[in-house]
């Protein structure tokens, strides 16, 4: 998106603030925690962290800079003319369901602190699109993160059908269709504005992706019709009972030998980092994140008839999927990315 200079300046300011929050404030607070925890090794992590003088500043900067980000992004998007409506004759297809009832847990929160959410207007979808690049400290301009997921976490094989759940404006389906051009790729999402934007994007890229408005727990697709079911950053935005239904739907969709891959977050074993991540859920209006991090997805997968359920660490800086549930040592704040793997027995 080509932006006027003043809007670029505001976005650059917010990005710089967020980078210093991540690479300067977080390590300082972590060092203070380590010193106090060493002096009281049996102490309660939350009590130690909440007693740190700098922790309220760390928490305030996270939520405050997120609000500043969305304000700057919203103003920038409003300053740029809206793109044309998606072409009816483009290679991508769009199936909307005006009667679809959106669940309360989806509409009751401004997820990510984005005002109004992403499901009401086309302008909100455009705001989400630009914000999705910037929320990763500006390091996702070419959606490198999603390409890394496709390149390192998805088995290289022939797929007849790939289903991406919670596809949003299509940032995950582009690299999937490009990596597996012979597969039918279907993007599922609740938000019609995001799906309209996704179709427009895929038409511009010449990608024949099928977009369908539906609940990821009840896609309406045929049983056993998918060889690969994926999601990126979906499961932490769903309550635990909805997760159980989601995994069951994935199992229903998968053909024998089909694979499931979710990219999301998991505890790292570092007490301070894990607490900061759990409390990030409240600061970033993601109330279901702590429940998801405590949920037993391998057990859910087993109950649904899937095998080999496990979480594997993921490094978003380029390495992608790692060898096991071991996160790299990093001083700065970062999301504890992980990939959930399971498969339908052949």
Determine the pLDDT at residue 211: 98
Share of the chain above pLDDT 90, in %: 83
Query: Same domain for 176 and 202?
Result: yes
Looking at the chain, which runs of residues are DSSP E strands? 93-95, 161-165, 184-189, 210-213, 226-232, 254-265, 307-315, 320-321, 337-343
Determine the pLDDT at residue 86: 62
189 and 195 Cβ atoms separated by less than 8 Å: yes
Domain interval for residue 196: 104-343
For the stretch 190-231, pLDDT in tens is 999 999 999 999 999 999 999 999 999 999 999 999 999 999
Q: What is the mean pLDDT of residues 71-77?
A: 93
- Of 141 and 333, the one with more pLDDT: 333
Determine the pLDDT at residue 82: 78
Determine the pLDDT at residue 51: 96
Give the confidence band of 325 by pLDDT, cuts at 50, 70, 90: low
What DSSP letter does each residue of 54-88 carry, written as one string? THHHHHHHHHHHHHHHHHHHHHHHHTSPPPPPPPT
Query: Same domain for 299 and 333?
Result: yes
Nearest Cα to 50, choosing from 282, 335, 287, 295? 282
Query: Same domain for 56 and 170?
Result: no
Q: What is the mean pLDDT of residues 219-246?
A: 97
Whether 141 shows a pLDDT value over 70: the answer reads: no
Query: Same domain for 115 and 179?
Result: yes
With tokens 């007490």, the residue in question is: 271
Q: What is the mean pLDDT of residues 139-148?
A: 75
193 and 119 Cβ atoms separated by less than 8 Å: yes
For the stretch 95-105, pLDDT in tens is 999 999 999 99
Query: Is 50 within a domain?
Result: yes
Query: Same domain for 115 and 29?
Result: no
Query: What is the rounded CA–CA span in Å between residue 23 and residue 3?
Result: 27
Nearest Cα to 337, choosing from 281, 272, 287, 263? 263
114 and 131 Cβ atoms separated by less than 8 Å: yes
For the stretch 17-65, pLDDT in tens is 999 999 999 999 999 999 999 998 888 999 999 999 999 999 999 999 9
Query: Same domain for 70 and 118?
Result: no
Average pLDDT score over the chain:
93
Query: What is the rounded CA–CA span in Å between residue 170 and residue 127?
Result: 14
Query: Is 99 within a domain?
Result: no
Of 88, 112, 130, at which residue does a domain stop?
88
Query: What is the rounded CA–CA span in Å between residue 145 and residue 139?
Result: 8
Determine the pLDDT at residue 136: 66
Query: Same domain for 27 and 125?
Result: no
Determine the pLDDT at residue 133: 77
Q: Is 64 exposed, middle or buried (0-12, 13-18, 19+ CB in 10 A)?
A: middle
Query: Same domain for 164 and 44?
Result: no
Whether 254 shows a pLDDT value over 70: the answer reads: yes
CA distances from 275 to 30, 293, 317, 336 (A): 11, 11, 22, 12
Of 63, 88, 113, at which residue does a domain stop?
88
Query: Is 95 within a domain?
Result: no
Query: Is 97 within a domain?
Result: no
Of 31, 55, 88, at which residue does a domain stop?
88
Per DSSP bridges, beta strands 337-343 and 307-315 are antiparallel
Give the confidence band of 267 by pLDDT, cuts at 50, 70, 90: very high
Whether 140 shows a pLDDT value over 70: the answer reads: no
What domain count does the chain have? 2
Query: Is 94 within a domain?
Result: no
Query: Same domain for 227 and 269?
Result: yes
Query: Same domain for 78 and 121?
Result: no
For the stretch 146-187, pLDDT in tens is 999 999 999 999 999 999 999 999 999 999 999 999 999 999
Give the confidence band of 132 by pLDDT, cuts at 50, 70, 90: confident
Query: Is 123 within a domain?
Result: yes
Query: Same domain for 116 and 254?
Result: yes
Q: In what order do the strands lie in the sheet with 226-232?
A: 93-95, 210-213, 184-189, 161-165, 226-232, 254-265, 337-343, 307-315, 320-321
Q: Max CA-CA distance within the chain?
A: 67
Query: What is the rounded CA–CA span in Å between residue 304 and residue 246?
Result: 10
For CA atoms 197, 1, 112, 48, give the dihedral sign. Answer: positive
Query: Is 280 within a domain?
Result: yes
- Of 323 and 91, the one with more pLDDT: 91
Query: Is 93 within a domain?
Result: no
- Of 67 and 83, the one with more pLDDT: 67
Contacting residues for 248 by C-beta, under 8 A, at least 6 apart: 217, 300, 303, 304
What DSSP letter does each residue of 212-246 carry, written as one string? EE-BTTB--PPTT-EEEEEEES-GGGS-HHHHHHH
Look up the CATH number of the domain holding residue 114. Answer: 3.40.50.150
With tokens 């759990």, the residue in question is: 278
Whether 108 shows a pLDDT value over 70: the answer reads: yes
Query: Same domain for 148 and 84?
Result: no
Nearest Cα to 295, choosing from 251, 241, 336, 257? 241
């Amino acid at each position: 998106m080509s932006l006027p200079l003043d809007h670029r300046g505001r976005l650059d300011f917010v990005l710089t603030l967020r980078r210093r929050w991540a690479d300067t404030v977080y390590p300082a607070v972590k060092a203070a925690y380590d010193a106090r925890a060493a002096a009281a090794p049996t102490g309660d992590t939350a009590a130690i962290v909440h007693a740190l003088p700098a922790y309220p500043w760390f928490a305030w900067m996270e939520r405050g800079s997120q609000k500043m980000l969305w304000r700057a992004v919203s103003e920038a998007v409003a300053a740029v003319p809206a793109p044309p409506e998606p072409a009816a004759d483009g290679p991508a297809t769009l199936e909307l369901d005006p009667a679809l009832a959106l669940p309360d847990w989806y509409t009751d929160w401004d997820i990510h602190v984005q005002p109004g959410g992403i499901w009401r207007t086309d302008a909100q979808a455009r705001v989400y699109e630009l914000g999705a690049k910037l929320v990763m400290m500006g390091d996702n301009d070419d959606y490198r993160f999603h390409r890394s997921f496709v390149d390192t976490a998805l088995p290289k094989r022939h797929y007849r059908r790939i289903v991406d759940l919670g596809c949003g404006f299509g940032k995950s389906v582009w690299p999937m269709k490009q990596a597996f051009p012979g597969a039918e790729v279907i993007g599922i999402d609740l938000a019609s504005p995001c799906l309209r934007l996704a179709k427009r994007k895929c038409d511009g890229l010449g990608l024949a992706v099928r977009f369908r408005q539906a609940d990821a727990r009840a896609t309406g697709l045929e049983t056993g019709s998918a060889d690969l079911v994926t999601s990126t950053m979906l499961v932490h935005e769903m309550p635990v009972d909805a997760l159980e239904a989601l995994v069951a739907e994935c199992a229903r969709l998968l053909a024998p030998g089909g694979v499931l891959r979710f990219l999301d977050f998991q505890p790292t074993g570092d007490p301070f980092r894990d607490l900061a991540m759990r409390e990030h859920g409240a600061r970033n209006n993601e109330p279901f994140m702590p429940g998801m991090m405590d949920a037993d997805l391998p057990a859910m997968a087993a109950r649904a008839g899937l095998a080999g359920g496990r979480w594997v660490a993921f490094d978003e800086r380029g390495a992608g999927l790692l060898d096991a549930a071991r996160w790299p040592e990093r001083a700065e704040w970062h999301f504890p990315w992980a990939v959930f793997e399971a498969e339908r027995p052949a």
